[in-house]
Chain A
Amino acid sequence: EIQLLESGGGLVRPGGSLRLSCAASGFTFDTYAMSWVRQAPGKGLEWVSGISGPGGTTYYADSVKGRFTISRETSKSTLYLQMNSLRAEDTAVYYCACGYPRFDYWGQGALVTVSA
Protein backbone atom coordinates (compact mmCIF):
# COMPACT_ATOMS: atom_id res chain seq x y z
CA GLU A 1 0.00 0.00 0.00
CA ILE A 2 1.34 3.40 -1.00
CA GLN A 3 1.63 5.80 1.92
CA LEU A 4 2.75 9.42 2.02
CA LEU A 5 3.15 11.07 5.42
CA GLU A 6 3.83 14.82 5.63
CA SER A 7 5.37 16.56 8.60
CA GLY A 8 6.87 19.92 9.44
CA GLY A 9 3.84 22.16 9.16
CA GLY A 10 3.06 24.87 11.68
CA LEU A 11 2.74 28.56 12.41
CA VAL A 12 5.42 30.90 11.06
CA ARG A 13 5.73 34.67 10.84
CA PRO A 14 5.78 36.46 7.48
CA GLY A 15 9.28 36.37 6.06
CA GLY A 16 10.10 33.20 7.97
CA SER A 17 11.07 29.73 6.79
CA LEU A 18 9.75 26.22 7.17
CA ARG A 19 10.70 22.81 5.78
CA LEU A 20 8.10 20.20 4.99
CA SER A 21 8.97 16.51 4.77
CA CYS A 22 7.07 13.66 3.16
CA ALA A 23 7.98 10.09 4.07
CA ALA A 24 7.02 7.68 1.29
CA SER A 25 6.49 3.93 1.47
CA GLY A 26 4.88 1.14 -0.52
CA PHE A 27 6.56 1.89 -3.85
CA THR A 28 10.00 2.31 -5.39
CA PHE A 29 10.55 5.94 -4.43
CA ASP A 30 13.36 6.82 -6.83
CA THR A 31 11.40 5.76 -9.92
CA TYR A 32 8.52 8.19 -9.39
CA ALA A 33 8.30 11.93 -9.93
CA MET A 34 6.88 13.67 -6.86
CA SER A 35 5.01 16.90 -6.24
CA TRP A 36 3.65 19.34 -3.72
CA VAL A 37 0.13 20.68 -4.14
CA ARG A 38 -1.49 23.18 -1.77
CA GLN A 39 -4.99 24.20 -0.81
CA ALA A 40 -5.71 27.49 0.93
CA PRO A 41 -8.50 27.37 3.54
CA GLY A 42 -11.84 26.93 1.78
CA LYS A 43 -10.24 27.21 -1.66
CA GLY A 44 -9.28 24.98 -4.56
CA LEU A 45 -6.10 23.14 -5.45
CA GLU A 46 -2.86 24.76 -6.61
CA TRP A 47 0.18 22.86 -7.82
CA VAL A 48 3.33 24.20 -6.15
CA SER A 49 6.35 22.18 -7.24
CA GLY A 50 7.47 18.92 -8.84
CA ILE A 51 10.67 16.90 -9.09
CA SER A 52 11.66 14.13 -11.48
CA GLY A 53 12.28 10.55 -10.34
CA PRO A 54 16.07 10.76 -10.24
CA GLY A 55 15.75 14.31 -8.90
CA GLY A 56 17.65 16.00 -11.67
CA THR A 57 14.81 18.23 -12.82
CA THR A 58 12.67 20.49 -10.68
CA TYR A 59 9.58 22.53 -11.50
CA TYR A 60 7.96 25.45 -9.71
CA ALA A 61 4.82 27.51 -9.91
CA ASP A 62 5.52 31.18 -10.59
CA SER A 63 3.98 32.05 -7.23
CA VAL A 64 6.78 30.25 -5.33
CA LYS A 65 9.73 30.39 -7.74
CA GLY A 66 12.84 31.72 -6.03
CA ARG A 67 11.38 31.18 -2.55
CA PHE A 68 10.66 27.43 -2.37
CA THR A 69 13.02 24.54 -3.09
CA ILE A 70 11.95 20.96 -3.68
CA SER A 71 14.36 18.08 -3.11
CA ARG A 72 14.36 14.37 -2.43
CA GLU A 73 16.53 11.96 -0.47
CA THR A 74 16.36 8.50 -2.01
CA SER A 75 18.09 6.72 0.87
CA LYS A 76 15.29 7.88 3.19
CA SER A 77 12.44 7.74 0.63
CA THR A 78 11.66 11.30 1.64
CA LEU A 79 10.53 14.37 -0.26
CA TYR A 80 11.18 17.88 1.04
CA LEU A 81 9.91 21.39 0.45
CA GLN A 82 12.05 24.20 1.83
CA MET A 83 9.92 27.32 2.06
CA ASN A 84 11.61 30.70 2.57
CA SER A 85 10.34 34.27 2.61
CA LEU A 86 6.89 33.04 3.51
CA ARG A 87 3.88 35.26 2.93
CA ALA A 88 0.36 35.30 4.30
CA GLU A 89 -0.89 34.01 0.96
CA ASP A 90 1.21 30.86 1.40
CA THR A 91 -1.14 29.77 4.19
CA ALA A 92 -2.55 26.42 3.10
CA VAL A 93 -2.63 22.69 3.58
CA TYR A 94 0.35 21.32 1.67
CA TYR A 95 -0.10 17.88 0.15
CA CYS A 96 2.69 15.61 -0.94
CA ALA A 97 1.71 13.69 -4.07
CA CYS A 98 3.16 10.79 -6.02
CA GLY A 99 3.51 11.74 -9.67
CA TYR A 100 4.07 14.75 -11.85
CA PRO A 101 2.35 16.36 -13.65
CA ARG A 102 -0.54 14.08 -12.72
CA PHE A 103 -0.98 13.21 -9.03
CA ASP A 104 -1.75 9.54 -8.54
CA TYR A 105 -1.51 9.28 -4.75
CA TRP A 106 -1.73 11.92 -2.03
CA GLY A 107 -0.65 12.31 1.58
CA GLN A 108 -3.00 13.59 4.26
CA GLY A 109 -1.51 17.09 4.18
CA ALA A 110 0.38 19.46 6.48
CA LEU A 111 -1.06 22.82 7.52
CA VAL A 112 1.18 25.84 7.11
CA THR A 113 -0.06 29.08 8.64
CA VAL A 114 1.79 32.32 7.93
CA SER A 115 0.71 34.99 10.36
CA ALA A 116 2.13 37.67 12.60
Chain B
Amino acid sequence: EIVLTQSPGTLSLSPGERATLSCRASQSVSSSYLAWYQQKPGQAPRLLTYGASRATGIPDRFSGSGSGTDFTLTIRRLEPEDFVVYYCQQYVTSPGTFGQGTKVEIK
Protein backbone atom coordinates (compact mmCIF):
# COMPACT_ATOMS: atom_id res chain seq x y z
CA GLU B 1 0.00 0.00 0.00
CA ILE B 2 1.31 3.43 -0.94
CA VAL B 3 1.51 5.79 2.03
CA LEU B 4 1.03 9.50 1.41
CA THR B 5 2.50 11.99 3.87
CA GLN B 6 1.27 15.56 3.74
CA SER B 7 3.18 18.50 5.13
CA PRO B 8 2.88 20.69 6.97
CA GLY B 9 0.05 19.50 9.19
CA THR B 10 -1.07 23.10 9.60
CA LEU B 11 -0.15 26.04 7.39
CA SER B 12 -0.66 29.55 8.80
CA LEU B 13 -0.98 32.24 6.16
CA SER B 14 -2.78 35.51 5.45
CA PRO B 15 -5.41 36.16 2.78
CA GLY B 16 -3.76 37.07 -0.50
CA GLU B 17 -0.66 34.99 0.19
CA ARG B 18 0.46 31.97 -1.80
CA ALA B 19 -0.02 28.53 -0.25
CA THR B 20 2.18 25.55 -1.08
CA LEU B 21 1.00 22.18 0.25
CA SER B 22 3.18 19.08 -0.04
CA CYS B 23 2.27 15.42 -0.54
CA ARG B 24 5.04 12.82 -0.50
CA ALA B 25 4.45 9.21 -1.58
CA SER B 26 6.24 6.15 -0.18
CA GLN B 27 6.85 4.97 -3.75
CA SER B 28 6.66 6.52 -7.18
CA VAL B 29 3.21 7.55 -8.40
CA SER B 30 2.31 8.62 -11.91
CA SER B 31 1.27 12.26 -11.74
CA SER B 32 -1.84 11.37 -13.70
CA TYR B 33 -3.11 9.44 -10.68
CA LEU B 34 -2.63 12.03 -7.95
CA ALA B 35 -5.65 14.09 -6.88
CA TRP B 36 -6.29 16.86 -4.38
CA TYR B 37 -9.51 17.44 -2.45
CA GLN B 38 -10.76 20.31 -0.33
CA GLN B 39 -12.99 19.82 2.69
CA LYS B 40 -14.81 22.64 4.45
CA PRO B 41 -16.06 22.15 8.03
CA GLY B 42 -19.20 20.03 8.15
CA GLN B 43 -19.14 19.41 4.39
CA ALA B 44 -18.15 16.63 2.06
CA PRO B 45 -14.79 16.78 0.31
CA ARG B 46 -14.65 18.32 -3.16
CA LEU B 47 -12.32 17.30 -5.97
CA LEU B 48 -9.94 20.16 -6.83
CA THR B 49 -7.31 18.77 -9.17
CA TYR B 50 -6.23 15.49 -10.74
CA GLY B 51 -2.84 15.36 -12.34
CA ALA B 52 -2.30 18.85 -13.73
CA SER B 53 -6.00 19.33 -14.48
CA ARG B 54 -8.59 21.24 -12.48
CA ALA B 55 -11.97 19.72 -11.79
CA THR B 56 -15.11 21.32 -13.15
CA GLY B 57 -15.81 24.73 -11.63
CA ILE B 58 -12.55 25.00 -9.69
CA PRO B 59 -10.96 28.50 -9.80
CA ASP B 60 -7.65 28.81 -11.60
CA ARG B 61 -5.85 29.92 -8.44
CA PHE B 62 -5.65 26.18 -7.58
CA SER B 63 -3.02 24.10 -9.36
CA GLY B 64 -1.55 20.64 -8.89
CA SER B 65 1.96 19.66 -9.89
CA GLY B 66 4.73 17.19 -9.19
CA SER B 67 6.11 13.84 -10.22
CA GLY B 68 7.59 10.67 -8.82
CA THR B 69 7.12 10.86 -5.08
CA ASP B 70 6.73 14.61 -4.53
CA PHE B 71 3.57 16.51 -5.32
CA THR B 72 2.32 20.01 -4.61
CA LEU B 73 -0.98 21.83 -4.42
CA THR B 74 -0.50 25.55 -4.95
CA ILE B 75 -3.13 28.15 -4.13
CA ARG B 76 -1.96 31.28 -5.87
CA ARG B 77 -3.74 33.93 -3.76
CA LEU B 78 -5.64 32.75 -0.73
CA GLU B 79 -9.27 33.78 -0.49
CA PRO B 80 -11.12 33.68 2.88
CA GLU B 81 -12.99 30.50 1.84
CA ASP B 82 -9.69 28.68 1.17
CA PHE B 83 -8.81 28.38 4.86
CA VAL B 84 -9.91 24.77 5.27
CA VAL B 85 -8.46 21.23 5.02
CA TYR B 86 -6.86 19.65 1.96
CA TYR B 87 -6.19 15.97 1.19
CA CYS B 88 -4.10 14.34 -1.50
CA GLN B 89 -5.01 10.92 -2.91
CA GLN B 90 -3.16 8.46 -5.11
CA TYR B 91 -5.12 6.02 -7.22
CA VAL B 92 -2.45 4.37 -9.31
CA THR B 93 -2.65 1.25 -7.11
CA SER B 94 -5.53 -0.43 -5.34
CA PRO B 95 -6.48 0.52 -2.76
CA GLY B 96 -6.20 4.17 -3.48
CA THR B 97 -4.95 5.98 -0.40
CA PHE B 98 -5.28 9.45 1.10
CA GLY B 99 -2.84 11.64 2.92
CA GLN B 100 -3.68 12.67 6.47
CA GLY B 101 -4.57 16.23 5.46
CA THR B 102 -3.19 19.76 5.72
CA LYS B 103 -5.17 22.47 7.43
CA VAL B 104 -4.70 25.99 6.09
CA GLU B 105 -5.48 28.50 8.80
CA ILE B 106 -5.57 32.28 8.98
CA LYS B 107 -2.42 33.74 10.47
What are the residues of chain A within 8 A of B101 when measuring CB–CB? Answer: 44
| Surface stretch bound by B, among A7-15, A75-83, A84-92, A100-108 | A100-108
A37 to B91 alpha-carbon distance, docked (Å): 14
The answer to whether B59 has its CB under 8 Å from any CB of chain A is no
The answer to whether B61 has its CB under 8 Å from any CB of chain A is no
B95 and A44 contacting across the interface, CB-CB below 8 Å = no
The answer to whether B50 has its CB under 8 Å from any CB of chain A is yes
Chain A's interface size range is 10 to 19
Cβ proximity bits A18-61 to B, threshold 8 Å, 1 near / 0 not: 00000000000000000001000000111100000000000101
What are the residues of chain A within 8 A of B8 when measuring CB–CB? Answer: none
A41 to B98 alpha-carbon distance, docked (Å): 16
B98 and A44 contacting across the interface, CB-CB below 8 Å = yes
A106 and B44 contacting across the interface, CB-CB below 8 Å = yes
B94 and A101 contacting across the interface, CB-CB below 8 Å = yes
A44 and B87 contact, Cβ closer than 8 Å, known pairs A102-B35, A106-B45: yes
Could you list which residues of chain A lie within 8 angstroms of chain B, going by C-beta atoms? 37, 44-47, 59, 61-62, 95, 101-109
New A-B contacts (16) at CB < 8 Å, excluding given A102-B91, A104-B55: A37-B45, A44-B87, A44-B101, A47-B96, A47-B97, A62-B95, A101-B96, A102-B47, A102-B89, A103-B37, A106-B44, A106-B45, A106-B46, A107-B44, A108-B43, A108-B44
